[in-house]
């Protein structure tokens, strides 16, 4: 099975394709994983991992200036948990914190027409809603002493730059850097 997957992967990478970078009426789906350098969904400091992102984009213009415009939207999910335990003689206490975030967003991007085969370079902006949920629990000797749950909704912006590289007419990889929803993310792109 591993040999078959390896052969298929090499075959996809070796296809000499002439994929167009970004076109009017083109439909693009991306799925990727991100890295949040500023913190996790609860807003506390530290390294937060995620979100997992899925988005859709459609090309809506012919050449406009030196590129084309695409619009779309997506959803992102991230989760973070933290546990701190202390032991004093026969007494133990433990603090647990869990938070998750679902982000729903709309975005628009300008795709530059650099005439580089198989490559799409773009920049864009977006806005959305963060739906946060968090839970704090405190245990003494393994027995729950208190628990607090909180939910909130907030508006979030997204400013980003990115690049896509296509291996075939319908499959490629992408990487984005930005501010707002996620700082860095990368994954795969499918042209439908």
Q: Report the half-sphere exposure of 159 (CA within 13 A, side-chain side).
A: 1
- If one counts every other C-beta atom within 10 angstroms of the C-beta of residue 21, the result is 24
Instruction: Give the H or E element holding residue 11.
Output: helix 2-14
84 has pLDDT over 70: yes
Q: Is the pLDDT of residue 44 over 60?
A: no
Instruction: Quote the pLDDT of residue 156.
Output: 93
What are the counts of helices (DSSP H) followed by strands (DSSP E) for the chain? 1, 8
Percentage of the chain surpassing pLDDT 90?
A: 55
pLDDT band, very low/low/confident/very high, at 129 (cuts 50, 70, 90):
very high
CATH for 2-191, among 3.40.50.2000, 2.40.160.20, 2.40.50.140, 3.30.70.920? 2.40.160.20
């Amino acid at each position: 099975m591993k040999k078959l997957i390896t052969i298929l992967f090499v075959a996809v990478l070796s296809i000499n394709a002439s994929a167009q970078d970004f076109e009017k009426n083109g439909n693009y789906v991306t799925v990727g994983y991100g890295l949040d350098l500023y913190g996790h969904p609860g807003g506390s400091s530290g390294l937060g991992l995620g979100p997992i992102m899925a988005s859709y984009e459609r090309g809506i213009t012919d050449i406009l200036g030196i590129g084309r415009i695409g619009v779309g939207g997506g959803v992102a999910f991230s989760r973070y948990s933290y546990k701190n335990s202390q032991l004093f003689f026969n007494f133990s206490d433990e603090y647990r914190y869990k938070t998750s975030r679902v982000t729903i967003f709309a975005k628009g991007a300008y795709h530059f027409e650099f005439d580089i085969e198989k490559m799409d370079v773009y920049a864009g902006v977006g806005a959305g809603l963060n739906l946060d949920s968090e839970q704090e629990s405190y245990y003494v000797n393994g027995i729950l002493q208190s628990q607090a749950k909180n939910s909130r909704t907030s508006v979030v912006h997204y400013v980003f730059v990115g690049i896509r590289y296509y291996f075939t007419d319908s499959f490629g990889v992408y990487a984005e850097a930005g501010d707002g929803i996620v700082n860095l993310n990368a994954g795969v792109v499918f042209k439908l």
